[in-house]
Structure 1
């Protein structure tokens, strides 16, 4: 069991954080305070009282230039409303700009909060979005190799196009796949990539089961693998680290979030697990 974990902030780019310069300064402060990562939501909209929303890719570019060591990325991007060729270019440019610090969080997205798919004419069927996600992950892996991509699938066509330069990170940019903690299908997808981001995780025991399931599904269970767990500010991560978490992401409720609150949490620095709990694992 990993006794060490890394800590990140996970922020919605809403209202006071809808300004990329503000977010870049926050990330620089987080790096100074000892955090290991800085991840941002990728949303088009959110219900009231949220009014202002920033673009994650522009914000992450600002974060990349303001920091030197933080791991960064969208957590998570709803891949079905992204064009794979555009996503390939964006991810490589961001990986280059950050010197190889991008982690790409991917997921289905959904219309539960704000109906952003229905209201922009995007695909609302979960099953079809899952197909689009899996197809895009295959395209990205090919694109990041630097070799010409020849893809003709049910949703996308890329006809003999090379995507250069290649990412700084080899063999590819790490991908973390999100999924509801109680469902099997997302675990199969996550086992094919580099990490899992559980949604609606309720207990460390649930995480231990997930960790065991994913290891059983992976071609090489001993290869490095990340499980990133969202936790509220100030929560002791010890039980989750003991259950297999390699990253703990401090989350913020968008309706109650203020810039001062985020700054206060990051200034306190990452939560350190109680030593006796980690030792007992």
Structure 2
């Protein structure tokens, strides 16, 4: 099991400086990664994940950087590839793309919504294009949603392959995750209640294997205090990553910084 922090960029954490403070403390305390939500709007405002992770990249040397998760249909694939490549270069190869379809309440109010099957089709068409561009390829493509005519976006890869972790809890999301590098499962709600426990994760990991997945990362989130046994139970169920969820309803910035500074729950 490896350990990261998950930052919900609402409230105090719309400010990248607050997130950088957490990330710097996390690296010092032995955490392995930071994940930042990618939402377009929320009451009180939202933070931009790409600017925030870029700021984190220049203040850390070891943490993996990921979005948890990016609604792929919101972005033009070539522009998302360009952003990912720049962040990967800035961080010297520490980026993982958390990818999903997005949720109606985030997409619809700003005109980005579409039927779930359309968003799924867009995502499945976009992800191979993004990875090809990140590899430095010149791409010609004519698909249902995207076109490219001899387009090169990135000069070449920074890391051999930017991992893609797929978010979502449906069977379709698991099938998609089995084709990529990992699955990111949301396990709690805003009141810190566990909605998807270790037993359910074990069932879903079995489903992943049934879809022919080679060993992939399985990430879960939750809230703990140092020494908590819950992450170990998820590890026994097949999870490979624990993300400590940090958000305003959990406590003050001082309290959350103290939790991060205390280190992973091992």
Change (3 A) 1:194 1:169: same
The separation in 1 between residues aligned to 2:13 and 2:166, in whole angstroms, is: 25
Q: Which position in structure 1 is the counterpart of 2:183?
A: 196
- Stretches of structure 1 lacking an aligned partner (at least 5 in a row): 273-281
Relative to total residues, which structure has the larger helix share, 1 or 2?
2
Q: Which position in structure 2 is the counterpart of 1:98?
A: 91
Instruction: Say whether 1:269 aligns with 2:260.
Output: no
Instruction: Say whether 1:55 aligns with 2:48.
Output: yes
The separation in 1 between residues aligned to 2:251 and 2:155, in whole angstroms, is: 38
Q: Is the 8 A contact 1:73 1:102 kept in 2?
A: yes
TM-score for both structures, normalised by structure 2? 0.91
Q: Which position in structure 2 is the counterpart of 1:242?
A: 236
Any runs of at least 4 consecutive aligned residues in structure 1 with deviations exceeding 4 A, and if so which? none
Q: Is the 8 A contact 1:105 1:175 kept in 2?
A: yes
Q: Is the 8 A contact 2:7 2:19 kept in 1?
A: no
Corresponding pairs, count: 256
Among candidates 174, 186, 189, match of residue 163 of structure 2: 174
Change (3 A) 1:27 1:146: same
Of 249-258 and 16-25, the range deviating more from structure 2: 249-258
Tell me the SS of whatever aligns to 2:99: strand
The separation in 2 between residues aligned to 1:6 and 1:97, in whole angstroms, is: 23
Q: Which position in structure 1 is the counterpart of 2:190?
A: none
- Equivalent positions of 1:131-280 (< 5 A) are 131-170=121-160, 172-180=161-169, 183-200=170-187, 202-218=196-212, 221=214, 224-234=215-225, 235-236=228-229, 237-272=231-266
* C-alpha deviation, 1:254, in angstroms: 4.5
TM-score for both structures, normalised by structure 1? 0.86
RMSD across aligned positions (CA): 1.6
Q: Which position in structure 2 is the counterpart of 1:16?
A: 12
Tell me the SS of whatever aligns to 1:117: helix
Change (3 A) 1:258 1:130: farther
Instruction: Say whether 1:31 aligns with 2:56.
Output: no
Of 198-207 and 72-81, the range deviating more from structure 2: 198-207
Among candidates 73, 76, 88, match of residue 81 of structure 2: 88
Q: Is the 8 A contact 1:25 1:66 kept in 2?
A: no
Change (3 A) 1:196 1:101: same
Instruction: Say whether 1:129 aligns with 2:123.
Output: no
Change (3 A) 1:105 1:257: farther
